[in-house]
Amino acid sequence: MKMTFRWYGKSDPVTLEKIRQIPCMSGIVSAVYDVSAGEVWPDANILSIKSDAQKNDLGFEVVESVPVHESIKLGLFERDRLIENYCENIRRLGTYGVKVICYNFMPVFDWLRSDLSRKLSDGSSTLAFDNEIVLAMDPSTSDLSLPGWDESYTKDGLKNLLKLYESVDEEKLWENFAYFLNNVIPVCEEFGVRMAIHPDDPPWSIFGLPRIITGAESYARMKKINPSVANGITLCLGSLGADPANNIESIVRENCDRIHFVHARNIKLTGERCFEEAPHPTVCGNLDMYGILKVLHDSGFVGYVRPDHGRMIWGETGRAGYGLFDRALGAAYLTGLWEAIERSASE
Ligand code: DNO
């Protein structure tokens, strides 16, 4: 297991100098943020992340994300050019030592929360999802913004995009996903890169848009489309865990050969389709972190882990979910759990 930490580039207040001081941190997870979705990432931008990381004794082997252009998800005529650009990014990243690309296939919106700063009784604040609030939101006028979202649309652009999705149901999205996979996976195989799809977060349809990566059945279907291990998974515990019907341990057992990246975080279910993001330890939420990590360990997991979202604690302010302190506590906790699991397995 390699412990990693997400870094949003030079503008991130959580600097590489701070990240390197977290014990056992092997590398960063990052991306080229100043090139639009669908375009090829200049070599210089990729190399600059790599050399910044290296100067701090950190690796750069995981990219999160290379965004999939909406025209690919919609299956529009320009998708072939955009997929070729995606393939070129895979070639370049592979050449510079990137091993895993985390991506998602969620239409229009990436992860979603209704509350970016819910006060908890201990004085910290956290991200939360409340279904009633989301149902009442109008996506084309809401001002919500989350780290990593594509913010390049104008209000009209967004409205047009939502309109285009009216003719794309889940089956159509699967078809477009299969087309994408069957074009990119051979390139990944050639360049030693593994794709790791992030589950839909939360794992159900929002704003009437189709969402297809929601649990065990999705992974079985993905494998049927393309059985290569390069067609892999980012196991995001908090995303999958938001639906109590998902049995994460069993998803791990069924897919252990293709889990290349883990987003480890805990959540506290607060109602039907409602949850708060909890501190990482098992006792703080509904997910059994020890149990899940143990199954990963026993299934031979050798991929990358990053502590996912943290609360804002000790007065920290910054990107929602992506402050330093609580994520660093999460990393230390997860590293400790892993050490205990490894040691007890070898005794
Ligand atoms: C949220 C993240 C997601 C993730 C993308 C991957 O915090 O986990 O935004 O990066 O869905 O493409």
Residue 135 CA to ligand 1 centre (angstroms): 21
Is 309 one of the catalytic residues?
Answer: yes
How confident is the model over 43-64, as pLDDT tens digits?
Answer: 999 999 999 999 999 999 999 9
Residue 151: per-residue pLDDT: 80
What number is the average pLDDT over the span 287-298?
Answer: 98
How confident is the model over 180-208, as pLDDT tens digits?
Answer: 999 999 999 999 999 999 999 999 999 99
Residue 313 CA to ligand 1 centre (angstroms): 22
Residues 211, 106: contact at Cβ < 8 Å?
A: yes
Mutating to test ligand 1, I would choose from 29, 111, 116, 308 the residue with most ligand atoms within 8 A of its C-beta, which is: 111
Residue 91 CA to ligand 1 centre (angstroms): 22
Of 86, 236, 274, 280, the active-site residue reads: 236
Mutating to test ligand 1, I would choose from 68, 69, 198 the residue with most ligand atoms within 8 A of its C-beta, which is: 198
Residue 156: per-residue pLDDT: 86
Count how many Cα atoms sit within 13 Å of the Cα of residue 56 in the half-sphere of its side chain: 21
Is 260 one of the catalytic residues?
Answer: no
Residue 145: per-residue pLDDT: 78
Residue 138: per-residue pLDDT: 87
User: Does the pLDDT value for residue 147 go beyond 80?
Assistant: no
Residue-averaged pLDDT of the chain? 96
Question: What is the pTM assigned to this prediction?
Answer: 0.97
How confident is the model over 229-260, as pLDDT tens digits?
Answer: 999 999 999 999 999 999 999 999 999 999 99
Residue 155: per-residue pLDDT: 83
Domain regions of the chain by residue span? 2-346
**Which residue, by CA, sits nearest to atom 1 of ligand 1?**
111
How confident is the model over 76-130, as pLDDT tens digits?
Answer: 999 999 999 999 999 999 999 999 999 999 999 999 999 999 999 999 999 999 9
Residue 152: per-residue pLDDT: 80
Tokens standing for residue 118: 């819910």
pLDDT category of residue 153 using cuts at 50, 70 and 90? confident
User: Does the pLDDT value for residue 287 go beyond 80?
Assistant: yes
Is 322 one of the catalytic residues?
Answer: yes
pLDDT category of residue 72 using cuts at 50, 70 and 90? very high
Nearest CA among 85, 54, 56, 53 for reference residue 68: 85
Of 69, 260, 309, 333, the active-site residue reads: 309
Residue 64 CA: which ligand 1 atom is closest? Answer: 10
Residue 296: per-residue pLDDT: 98
* Percent of the chain predicted with pLDDT > 70: 100
Residue 148 CA to ligand 1 centre (angstroms): 7
**Collapsing DSSP states into helix, strand and coil, what is residue 38?**
coil
Is 308 one of the catalytic residues?
Answer: yes
Of 153 and 245, which is predicted with more confidence? 245
Residue 234 CA: which ligand 1 atom is closest? Answer: 6
Residue 321 CA to ligand 1 centre (angstroms): 11
What number is the average pLDDT over the span 292-316?
Answer: 98
Residue 201 CA to ligand 1 centre (angstroms): 8
**Which residue, by CA, sits nearest to atom 6 of ligand 1?**
103
* HEC-encoded secondary structure of the chain: CEEEEECCCCCCCCCHHHHCCCCCCCEEEECCCCCCCCCCCCHHHHHHHHHHHHHCCCEEEEEECCCCCHHHHHCCCCHHHHHHHHHHHHHHHHHCCCCEEEECCCCCCCCCCCEEEEECCCCCEEEEEEHHHHHCCCCCCCCCCCCCCCCCCCHHHHHHHHHHHHHCCHHHHHHHHHHHHHHHHHHHHHHCCEEEECCCCCCCCCCCCCCCCCCHHHHHHHHHHCCCCCEEEEEEHHHHHCCCCCCHHHHHHHHHHHEEEEEECEEEEEECCEEEEECCCHHHCCCCHHHHHHHHHHCCCCCEEEECCCCECCCCCCCCCCCCHHHHHHHHHHHHHHHHHHHHHHC
Write down the CATH number for the domain with range 2-346: 3.20.20.150
How confident is the model over 3-37, as pLDDT tens digits?
Answer: 999 999 999 999 999 999 999 999 999 999 999 99
Is 263 one of the catalytic residues?
Answer: yes
Mutating to test ligand 1, I would choose from 65, 68, 213, 233 the residue with most ligand atoms within 8 A of its C-beta, which is: 65
Of 12, 200, 201, 308, the active-site residue reads: 308
Pocket around ligand 1 at a 6 A CB cut-off: 64-65, 102-104, 110-111, 148, 198, 263, 309, 321
Is 24 one of the catalytic residues?
Answer: no
Rounded CA-CA distance 36/89 in Å is: 13
